[in-house]
Amino acid sequence: MKSLLPRNLLAAALFLFVSCSKEMSKELSHNVVITQGNFYATVDGNQWNADSLQLILVNNNGVTISGLSKTGAEISILIPEFKTGTYTLNASSLPFSFYVNVFGNLTDVYYSNSGSAAGTVTIASIDTLNHLVSGSFQFTLVNPSDNSTKSVTSGIFSYVPYSGGSGNSTPPPVSTDTLKANADGNPFSPFQITTNVASNQLVIAGITTDGTTMALLMPANITTGSYNLDFGTGIYIGIYNPPGVTIGLVSQANGTLNIISHDVVAKRIIGTFSFIATPISSGTPVTITEGYFSVSYQ
């Protein structure tokens, strides 16, 4: 965990925002109602509410607890197990958290595994019958770029729905949208596809039943043609996250995005892509090939 860089957390932040965006209500419109519990905290003395979206996602590698305010402020907490108890966060802990404003400077990330950052997260109860989880959190986060801090106190998530984990219901149906690729030759077939437009960026993302995620970012007004997928530009980006909470794999000047058609009136876009998903710090790259998407957005 110590080796994670701000951009690695940025990749995580980008995907959490994407995969859990309000567009989810569109994808789950077939008799599925997205409900919210109470999810709030005090950040640097100001009230923060996850009034835009709330996500608790459970898989074999642990649990992601994430909330986004209408102003774009995101708080995310990642814990390697889904059990009641209190978890300590510091520079050497496996659990970690971060804060970022997804509508602002996405490189301006505060997180718990840096310097003097510290805190705790408590999972107080897990209702496996109704799939609800409650708990609390408080921590001081550090931005390693300038050592500034972010104080998060009186954090509460109460009766927030979670997905995944033991006894979860059948995953929601996929819409008519398509997103597919091969990752090191293995098919990537998401059960859920989401799209979102924010700050003139179009995001297309998918998540599989085991928690593997893939996302593409591009300008909302992109036209037909070929583009270089390079995370360093912050414009055309490919992201791939295998199951787990510590790995962020992104395209680094090695990918291609081809836009076959883009109907800006009907808001439907079709294209192909390929890139080598490379860890920001260390790890094994994953080759993404035969990527294809055909999706609508709002």
Using pLDDT thresholds of 50, 70 and 90, give the confidence band for residue 36: low
Instruction: Decide which of 10 and 298 is more confident.
Output: 298
- pLDDT for 164 equals 67
What is residue 144's predicted lDDT score, i.e. its pLDDT? Answer: 83
- pLDDT at residue 194 tops 50: yes
Query: What are the tens digits of pLDDT across the range 203-258?
Result: 888 878 776 788 898 999 999 999 999 877 778 888 887 765 344 566 676 799 99
Strand partners, 23: none
- pLDDT tens column, 46-76: 999 988 778 787 876 688 898 888 887 889 8
Average pLDDT, integer, range 165-182: 62
12 pLDDT higher than 70: no
Residue scoring higher pLDDT (171 or 261): 261
Structure tokens at 175: 């819409």
Average pLDDT of the chain is 79
Taking Cα atoms as reference points, which of 187, 225, 219 lies closest to residue 206?
187
Of 3 and 221, the structure prediction assigns the larger pLDDT to 221
* Under 8 Å between Cβ of 243 and 59: yes
One-letter identity of residue 265: V
Indicate the domain borders of the chain: 33-164, 178-296
Most confident option among 13-17, 89-93, 191-195: 89-93
Tokens of 199: 């700050």
Region 128-154: mean pLDDT is 92
Exposure b/e, 274-297, CB count within 10 A at least 16 = b: bbbbbbbeebeebebeebebbbeb
**What's the token pair of residue 131?**
């799939």
Q: What is the pTM of this model?
A: 0.59
Closest CA to 74 of 149, 15, 160, 7: 15
pLDDT score of 106: 58
Contact predicate 114/25, CB 8 Å: no
Please answer whether residues 241 and 251 qualify as being in contact, where contact means their C-beta atoms are separated by less than 8 angstroms: no
For residue 91, the surrounding DSSP H or E stretch is none
To the nearest 10°, report the CA torsion of 151, 157, 163, 166: 110
Query: Could you tell me the two tokens for 58?
Result: 């459970």
